[in-house]
Structure 1
Amino acid sequence: MTTEATSTASTASTPKSLKLFYCYARADKANRDELDNHLSNLKRSHQIASWSDREISPGVEWETAIDKELNTAHIILLLVSSSFMSSDYCYGVEMKRALERHKAGKARVVPILLRTVDWEDAPFSKLQVLPANAKPIIRWQRRDDAFEDIAKGLRKVVKELQILLKNEEERLTLNNLKRYEEALFAFDQAIQLNPTNALTFYNKGVILRYLNRNNEADVAFKEAKELGDSL
């Protein structure tokens, strides 16, 4: 199998962590850190990789870094509080972009209610929120119970997205197979027109190898070698 084919096959079968992005106000950093700790099980099992602005290295343009991560995240958490609602950047920039990606089906936005605040009719108000029953963390008798509820809810989101991504990979794989079958047909047509072209036989062998039609691939490679040796 060629390097390209091996790479394609391994990419399709390699599990990838879902990227999780925190959209939060600076005043809620402690809550963000506590939530991230409660997501450790998902992170240790490589199901998610979380990111926030504290990952930005010194000297890096912070807005560019945030845009890059926000635009590639699978899951975007809106950490809702009065501080979040009053932040022009969180509310007007990050949340706006997050909801655009959610609407386009490119990310899943999950509002997390940290503190009591009026969020009725907010742009995210139609989305299912966490913790359960739209009860902000601050109202729970035990904070750990609230964070556990959030972690379990996000685990469900992760499982759903993993299934969706797997289905998409399978769809792309089927499309690739269709293209390889079309290429194989084209090589057969070319061989009929010029049965002495060693390169055509070699390329046909590469396609057959990718399709796991190994016996046919061996025949094509043998023919290519014999034609090449005769030149």
Structure 2
Amino acid sequence: MQKPAKSPRVFISYSHQDAAILDSLKVHLRAYEWCDAVSVWDDQRLLPGQDWRAEIKNAIQAADVAVLLVSPHFLASRFIRDNELPPLLAGKHVLWVAVSHCAYGTTPIADYQCVHDPRKPLKGLSVVQRDGVFLSLCQAIVARAAAKPDGSGGPPHPDDSELAGNARPAEVPARIQSLGLELIFIPAGRFQMGDDLRWEETGAYWIGKYPVTVAQYRRFCAETGREMPPAPDWGWMDNHPIVNVTWFDARDFCAWAGGRLPTEKEWEKAARWDEAKKHSRVYPWGDEWEPDKYHSVTMTGMDLGSTAPVGSHPSGVSPYGCHDMVGNVQEWCEDGLDERDEPLDALSSVETLARVAVRATRGASYAESDSRICSAAYDFWLHPALRFFFIGCRYVLPDDVC
């Protein structure tokens, strides 16, 4: 594991009634502590004779990340309410998990994104599912090490509306900003595409800095009356990419958000083109194969592994600043092939849609470890009605819509 430039200092706030949950989390964090990826403090570090109130206050002041283990006992604690939550929520990067069902919605904690689906608290999960939540929490903490002092970088918070890269925030409709879709502006122009590095051209567009998340897709379902797709084995976690969506699901989400899916040209340009050097990288991060720069898992037997929080591998970012263009999930694209394997240029008519046999996906998923398949030029073709636990989507907003 690569050591981050700055190890986040983590303060864990919890109720002593939930000490068993704390102990389980600390087992997962220990591997990160051993390689100096994090520095963890909780009140079990207090020594006899220490001024415990002063030690807790000092640890909170020194912390970069606040981890909250939220439960009825946590919310009922007067000390946590009066002495820990105010400074933690005022200036720290907050990550929280739901230990058990509780009234967190009546507190300021509800303003912060939960690491997992709070409707499925830890105490109701299997050991394997609980371990998955803890792993996601650890990855989110470590990803924070890549954040800038102003709080940008790392996995997105649902309240973030700052747009990255060549951003022009005033030109993005407020409705789209309110959805938490962080966008990167890709200017019009030529770039080199494919293994043969042929010259292609795109118009200007905005593309998602991250794949569409579970939280964003859940909001789409809630507002349109749709059902969520079947949950993967590891369950729904809000800051992970959405999976198990068909091409039609992905298309409808993007349309609801005022945009569309990326074309293959748009996806590949955002993934590999270095405008300053006039060079198309082999991989989003460069021309050399470096598997530690993307999220991948070796699947064994019935263990399918899982996705990771979006933005967990900032060292693998593309020249334009897009995250997870390789690893985590494959992503549906707009392009289709008809039954004669001829590209379809116009997709507006019912007849054209009916003839589509397959649709393109881009970006190798977390299940891939082949360097050739993980290149930014590699594409896949699948039937648009299929669902897979390793396929999600990314949002595009044409510049002429703004």
Smaller-chain TM-score bracket: 0.5 to 0.7
Structure 1's 131 and 143: CA in aligned 2 closer, same or farther, altered over 3 A?
A: farther
Asked if the contact 2:64/2:93 (under 8 Å) is kept, the reply is: yes
Q: Deviations over 1:101-145 (max 9, x none)?
A: 1xxxxx2111211111121131110101123455210121x1332
User: How far apart in 2 are the matches of 1:153 and 1:68?
Assistant: 23
Structure 1's 128 and 167: CA in aligned 2 closer, same or farther, altered over 3 A?
A: closer
| Aligned equivalent of 1:24 | 14
Letter paired with 1:152: S
Letter paired with 2:109: F
| Aligned equivalent of 2:33 | 43
- What TM-score comes out, normalization by structure 1 length? 0.58
Richer in strand (by share): 2
User: How far apart in 2 are the matches of 1:116 and 1:133?
Assistant: 8
User: How far apart in 1 are the matches of 2:110 and 2:37?
Assistant: 27
2:139 alignment partner, one of 117, 141, 155: 155
Q: Does 1:130 pair with 2:107? A: no
Letter paired with 2:113: Q
User: How far apart in 2 are the matches of 1:132 and 1:96?
Assistant: 24
User: How far apart in 2 are the matches of 1:43 and 1:17?
Assistant: 9
Paired residues, what number? 149
Q: Does 1:145 pair with 2:129? A: yes
User: How far apart in 2 are the matches of 1:120 and 1:167?
Assistant: 24
Partner-residue secondary structure (3-state), 2:75: helix
C-alpha displacement of 1:100: 1.1
Q: Deviations over 1:59-83 (max 9, x none)?
A: 1100000000011111111110110
Richer in helix (by share): 1
User: How far apart in 2 are the matches of 1:131 and 1:150?
Assistant: 10
Q: Does 1:113 pair with 2:98? A: yes
Letter paired with 2:22: R
1:65 alignment partner, one of 34, 55, 68: 55
Letter paired with 1:162: A
Q: Deviations over 1:174-222 (max 9, x none)?
A: xxxxxxxxxxxxxxxxxxxxxxxxxxxxxxxxxxxxxxxxxxxxxxxxx
C-alpha displacement of 1:47: 0.8
User: How far apart in 2 are the matches of 1:87 and 1:62?
Assistant: 16
Letter paired with 1:145: Q
Partner-residue secondary structure (3-state), 2:112: coil
User: How far apart in 2 are the matches of 1:31 and 1:157?
Assistant: 17
Identity of aligned residues (%): 21
Letter paired with 1:77: V
C-alpha displacement of 1:167: 10
Structure 1's 164 and 56: CA in aligned 2 closer, same or farther, altered over 3 A?
A: same
Q: Deviations over 1:37-65 (max 9, x none)?
A: 12223222211011111111211100000
Asked if the contact 1:22/1:77 (under 8 Å) is kept, the reply is: yes
Letter paired with 1:58: P
User: How far apart in 1 are the matches of 2:145 and 2:53?
Assistant: 27
2:85 alignment partner, one of 61, 85, 95: 95
User: How far apart in 2 are the matches of 1:27 and 1:158?
Assistant: 27
Structure 1's 36 and 79: CA in aligned 2 closer, same or farther, altered over 3 A?
A: same
User: How far apart in 2 are the matches of 1:167 and 1:91?
Assistant: 25
- Over the aligned positions, Cα root-mean-square deviation in angstroms equals 2.3
Letter paired with 1:126: D
Letter paired with 1:31: I
Partner-residue secondary structure (3-state), 2:111: coil
Letter paired with 2:115: L
1:78 alignment partner, one of 61, 68, 74: 68
Structure 1's 132 and 46: CA in aligned 2 closer, same or farther, altered over 3 A?
A: farther
Partner-residue secondary structure (3-state), 2:20: helix
Asked if the contact 2:95/2:137 (under 8 Å) is kept, the reply is: no
C-alpha displacement of 1:166: 11
Partner-residue secondary structure (3-state), 1:93: helix
